[in-house]
Structure 1
């Protein structure tokens, strides 16, 4: 009997110690927020790096063939055979948000959905591959001159280093 009482007391003491030594979520949150604030201050204090657009390596013409349909019926007439895709997103809300940001930049953006449910954010669409490739290179040059991929991702939501051409299949 005495032995079981001692065993229960030892178990209770161990349990109390284990519970009291548990780290608090608020302590982690404070450290995380302080680190995030320091990171934001460092990012704000660093100057924006502007690269000379003439020194960029040539970009390979990447063409992918897919069957896509415009999300909005009003975009159907503007979706041609070759399109410049800046992002491929699985969440429609994210695609619509990027569409709005790029429309504010002056692009006529088309959202198209493929058979797998991915949303392609298209900034230009042409009847021929050469025009689409030229526009893709123009966009790449423009945004590469603004800064590195981290800056572009923070500012626009995409790094602009993986632009590609979509060849529409029917």
Structure 2
């Protein structure tokens, strides 16, 4: 009986320590790239339903990569070149990126395919000239589309 109690206490201590490891302890500080100002990007998707304050989970850290990219889909002019892109997929082959783009269109996104300097194809669902709206869109996508929880932020190298 006493042995079972000690085992139960040990198990509870172990499980509580594992739960604290899942939460993580690092937070992203404010980025030096944030410039403020008007939202110049593609439309931000709104939440399907508001999330109550007590229901919010700790936000997952956003992966950020800086790359030189060019659009595959459209010929870019100065008005269409953005600094921040919300990326939901990366592919080695253009045909795979195009097929993925079709699936995203069926889900209501307006995706664009970008090619980086290493020949990888990035599928973006939104583009901005300010970082904060891009981060907000990433958070909204993670809340509303759990299958895209690995969405990340691409910063265009200049």
TM-score (norm 1): 0.56
Distance in 2 of aligned mates of 1:55 and 1:122: 26
1:99 counterpart (101, 107, 111): 101
Deviation at 1:72, TM superposition (A): 2.1
Whichever structure has more helix as a proportion of its residues is: 1
The structure whose RCO (Cα within 8 Å, separation 6+) is larger is 2
Mapping for residues 133-144 of structure 1, pairs under 5 Å:
133-144=135-146
| Unpaired stretches in structure 2, ≥5 consecutive residues | 1-50
Distance in 2 of aligned mates of 1:139 and 1:121: 14
Distance in 2 of aligned mates of 1:74 and 1:97: 20
Distance in 1 of aligned mates of 2:110 and 2:75: 12
TM-score (norm 2): 0.60
Distance in 2 of aligned mates of 1:128 and 1:62: 16
Larger radius of gyration: 1
Deviation at 1:78, TM superposition (A): 4.0
Number of residue equivalences = 104
Q: Is 2:141–2:149's contact at 8 Å kept on the other side of the alignment?
A: no
CA-to-aligned-CA distance 1:30-89 (integer Å, 9 cap, x gap)? xxxxxxxxxxxxxxxxxxxxxxx7343312132210000001234665441001000111
